[in-house]
A and B are shown apart, each in its own frame.
Chain A
Amino acid sequence: MNMPAVFAVAKLSFREFFRQPEAVFWTYGFPLLMTIVLGFTFRPAAPPLIRVAVVASADAAALCAVLAKNPRLAVAVLDAATADQSLARGRIQALVRGPSGDLTVRADPMRPDAELARLQIERALRGGDWQGPHQEAEDRPGARYIDFLVPGLVGLNLLGAGMWGIGFNLTEYRSKKLLRRLFVTPLRRSEFLLGFLLSRLTLLIPESVVILAFGMLCWDVPFRGSMVAASAILIVAALSFVGLGILVASRARTVEGVAGLMNLCQLPMWLLGGSFFSTEHLDGALGAVAAAMPLTQCNNALRDLMLEPKGLADVAYPLCFLSGFAALSFTLALRLFRWT
């Protein structure tokens, strides 16, 4: 292995990156912005209002008054057609149809917020003073949605920046015939790809640290487990995603082509990778698919380490999984890689 050449390629990739202000923004600025926006959206605050429509009829106004006693509900009277349409478009979470003796609540049970609406409507109908069992808001740091979200965003960001950063550049260099000249030097593919990998890794890790630090400082997201273990997870996860990026870009001839392949790889992970909601409970084929995704392993391990006092031994499985995934994708990429 010609290490000076590996470092020279790493430097090249570094400079190409930092001399493109827009690339720097989309890699560093954008994920951070996304974290901030999402973080503020889900930060602990008054729970959001549930929008409900009452279908216009003789006693609609009275019904409205009853429902409005529940402060969680925002109630409006709509004619039947508008109410139906609003429900279909998701502008309201449920609609209530009279007469008052025989009420119907219409909502899509597949939407989580619909069940919530049903519950709040029932509570209002039982009389404004009915509270049911005592309510306790879960607001301890480490148990809120934001605490769930921040590790997921770190994972998602590693996925996006890792894959796009390398796959896009490699394909662009190939399609612009920049790699042809390097090909006729004694530089080996392994040295070339390793150089790229190194430069990406050194860009990705600080990025994750920035997001984590932001969450911890601004929203008191806890870090209860081992930082060493978390660093290890971050590194192998970054390697996995960069490896996957190289693999996807190993033969693509055009930037458009590689963009399609990237989306094909990333979209399922956005949905099932457990960044926005937990997929640990999924079973069957879907569960198996989710568990086979590097993003799932990364997210779960990061959550274990941040939200619970866990250590290296507890994340041994994801650590091995991600290392294996990185090794496999890099090996495959090395075999498939084309210079021209």
Chain B
Amino acid sequence: MKSDGLAIELRGLRKVYTRGKKTTVALDGLDLEVRRGEVFGLLGQNGAGKTTTVEICEGLTQQTAGEARILGRCWRTGMDQEIRARIGVCLQETRFFEKQTVRETLQLFAACQGRGCSVDDALALVSLQEKADARQSQLSGGQRQRLAVALAMLGEPELLFLDEPTTGLDPQSRRQLWDVLRAYQRRGSTVLLTTHYMEEAQVLCDRIGIVDHGKLIALGSPQELIRSLGADTVVEFSVGDVNALDEGAMRQLPGVQSCEIRGGKVTLTVALVHTTVPPLLAWLAQRGAELLELATRHATLEDVFVARTGRHLREEESA
């Protein structure tokens, strides 16, 4: 069967929220395939539809139209129990029973899951051993988040959904979670995660999908996406008087793919530094602009993200 290699298969997914006369289109015909064994990252601005997508996959939200196949099965076709036994979930916002300790909460969910790793292993996974006997109400935000992640992994699921798992985590905890997820993937499991940290997506994800206004607008490995910019170097500089500059003219300089002026700083994505920088300096000198700062770096996912969801998109819309 064709979809055998797919952990998640979404076809023409639509979700419309209606309250009274007001309707919000959260998903507008989203197609997505997540292969078994990969770590897939969903990126997108606030309100893009990431959580809606993930919650439809988790069976929490019902789509208005379209099809969602999770591990080859659809929700609400009598298979719910089976799917739930095979997935692990970390919601964007998880609230727990306030009066229960961390250990008690884990024990409850372990009993519900019915299989998987021990409570102590789950505690170790997110380094919460010290807080095992603290009540929910005594945990810090990051500690709660780590508990939510531990709960998702408790049943050793084939497919893990993590909605912004590292939001609120300190750098160490974040890196620790990345290691845990990689180890997890090595065992053949699949991960679908959302994040606002581009670095995280870049180092952790095998493939990335960018969602915007309820649609998938870019898909590929981090490298593919960066290459798709047509330029993998970024030149950033600032001058005394930004208003003296003109975007259109800068785009005409050799090798420049895109240009953005924001907060007194100019960002150019270019194919090759040595073909662009000399003419740029000449051009600036000719205008009498005083160069305050100049730096070059490799393009990152963030540049892709800004290019895809930021100015370009709006320019296309208005065009």
Query: Residues of A at under 8 Å CB distance from B?
Result: 2, 4-5, 7-9, 11-12, 15-16, 19-20, 173, 176-178, 180-188, 340
B90 to chain A, nearest CB (A): 9
Give the residue of B58, B95, B107 whose beta carbon is less than 8 angstroms from that of A178. B95
Give the residue of A4, A11, A173, A184 whose beta carbon is less than 8 angstroms from that of B114. A4
Chain A-chain B contacts (Cβ-Cβ < 8 Å), number = 66
Q: How far is the CA of A181 from the CA of B58 in the complex (A)?
A: 10
Q: Which of A19, A178, A186, A187 has the most CB of B within 10 A?
A: A186
Given contacts A12-B100, A185-B155, could you give 14 more A-B pairs where the C-beta distance is less than 8 Å? A2-B111, A2-B114, A4-B111, A5-B111, A12-B108, A177-B95, A181-B96, A183-B60, A184-B60, A184-B84, A184-B87, A186-B81, A186-B113, A187-B112
- Does B97 reach chain A (CB closer than 8 Å)? yes
Closest A residue to B89 by beta carbon equals A184
CB under 8 Å from chain A, chain B span 96-117 = 96-97, 99-100, 104, 107-109, 111-114
Residues of B within 8 A of A (CB-CB), count: 26
B60 near A185 (CB under 8 angstroms)?
no
Q: Name the B residues within 8 Å of A15 (CB-CB).
A: 99-100, 104
B113 near A16 (CB under 8 angstroms)?
no
Q: How far is the CA of A176 from the CA of B95 in the complex (A)?
A: 7
A87 to chain B, nearest CB (A): 53
A16 near B99 (CB under 8 angstroms)?
yes
B109 near A19 (CB under 8 angstroms)?
no
B266 to chain A, nearest CB (A): 45
B114 near A180 (CB under 8 angstroms)?
no
- Does B29 reach chain A (CB closer than 8 Å)? no
A185 near B107 (CB under 8 angstroms)?
no
Given contacts A15-B100, A186-B81, contact A8 B59 (CB under 8 A): no
Closest A residue to B105 by beta carbon equals A12
Closest A residue to B135 by beta carbon equals A19
Closest B residue to A6 by beta carbon equals B111
A204 to chain B, nearest CB (A): 20
Q: Name the A residues within 8 Å of B109 (CB-CB).
A: 185
Query: Residues of B at under 8 Å CB distance from A?
Result: 58-60, 81, 84-85, 87, 89, 91, 93-97, 99-100, 104, 107-109, 111-114, 151, 155
Q: Name the B residues within 8 Å of A173 (CB-CB).
A: 97
A181 near B89 (CB under 8 angstroms)?
yes
Give the residue of B58, B93, B107 whose beta carbon is less than 8 angstroms from that of A184. B58
Q: Name the B residues within 8 Å of A340 (CB-CB).
A: 60
B91 near A8 (CB under 8 angstroms)?
no
B114 near A181 (CB under 8 angstroms)?
no
A16 to chain B, nearest CB (A): 5
Q: How far is the CA of A181 from the CA of B60 in the complex (A)?
A: 9
Closest A residue to B113 by beta carbon equals A185
Closest B residue to A188 by beta carbon equals B81
Q: How far is the CA of A183 from the CA of B155 in the complex (A)?
A: 15
Q: Name the A residues within 8 Å of B151 (CB-CB).
A: 181
Q: How far is the CA of A183 from the CA of B83 in the complex (A)?
A: 12
Give the residue of B60, B87, B97, B114 whose beta carbon is less than 8 angstroms from that of A5. B114
Q: List 20 A-B contacts (CB under 8 A).
A: A8-B107, A8-B112, A9-B108, A11-B104, A12-B100, A12-B108, A15-B100, A15-B104, A16-B99, A20-B99, A177-B95, A181-B89, A181-B91, A181-B94, A184-B59, A184-B84, A184-B87, A184-B91, A185-B109, A186-B113
Closest B residue to A176 by beta carbon equals B95
Q: How far is the CA of A257 from the CA of B33 in the complex (A)?
A: 42
Q: Name the B residues within 8 Å of A188 (CB-CB).
A: 81
Q: Name the A residues within 8 Å of B155 (CB-CB).
A: 185
Q: How far is the CA of A187 from the CA of B113 in the complex (A)?
A: 7
Closest A residue to B59 by beta carbon equals A184
Q: How far is the CA of A178 from the CA of B85 in the complex (A)?
A: 19
Q: Name the A residues within 8 Å of B91 (CB-CB).
A: 180-181, 184
Given contacts A4-B114, A8-B107, A185-B112, contact A19 B99 (CB under 8 A): yes
Closest B residue to A17 by beta carbon equals B99
Closest A residue to B107 by beta carbon equals A8
A182 near B100 (CB under 8 angstroms)?
no
Closest B residue to A340 by beta carbon equals B60
A178 near B111 (CB under 8 angstroms)?
no
Q: Name the A residues within 8 Å of B104 (CB-CB).
A: 11-12, 15
Q: Name the B residues within 8 Å of A178 (CB-CB).
A: 95-97
Q: Name the B residues within 8 Å of A4 (CB-CB).
A: 111, 114
Closest B residue to A16 by beta carbon equals B99
Q: Name the A residues within 8 Å of B112 (CB-CB).
A: 2, 5, 8, 182, 185-187
A186 near B89 (CB under 8 angstroms)?
no
Q: How far is the CA of A177 from the CA of B51 in the complex (A)?
A: 15
Q: Name the B residues within 8 Å of A182 (CB-CB).
A: 112
Q: How far is the CA of A4 from the CA of B110 in the complex (A)?
A: 9
Q: Name the B residues within 8 Å of A20 (CB-CB).
A: 99
Q: How far is the CA of A149 from the CA of B105 in the complex (A)?
A: 43
B60 near A180 (CB under 8 angstroms)?
yes
Q: Which of A11, A12, A177, A182 has the most CB of B within 10 A?
A: A12
Q: Name the B residues within 8 Å of A5 (CB-CB).
A: 111-112, 114
Q: Name the B residues within 8 Å of A176 (CB-CB).
A: 95
Q: How far is the CA of A181 from the CA of B154 in the complex (A)?
A: 13
Q: Name the A residues within 8 Å of B95 (CB-CB).
A: 176-178, 181
A186 near B100 (CB under 8 angstroms)?
no
Q: How far is the CA of A15 from the CA of B99 in the complex (A)?
A: 7
Q: How far is the CA of A16 from the CA of B58 in the complex (A)?
A: 28
Q: How far is the CA of A187 from the CA of B99 in the complex (A)?
A: 21
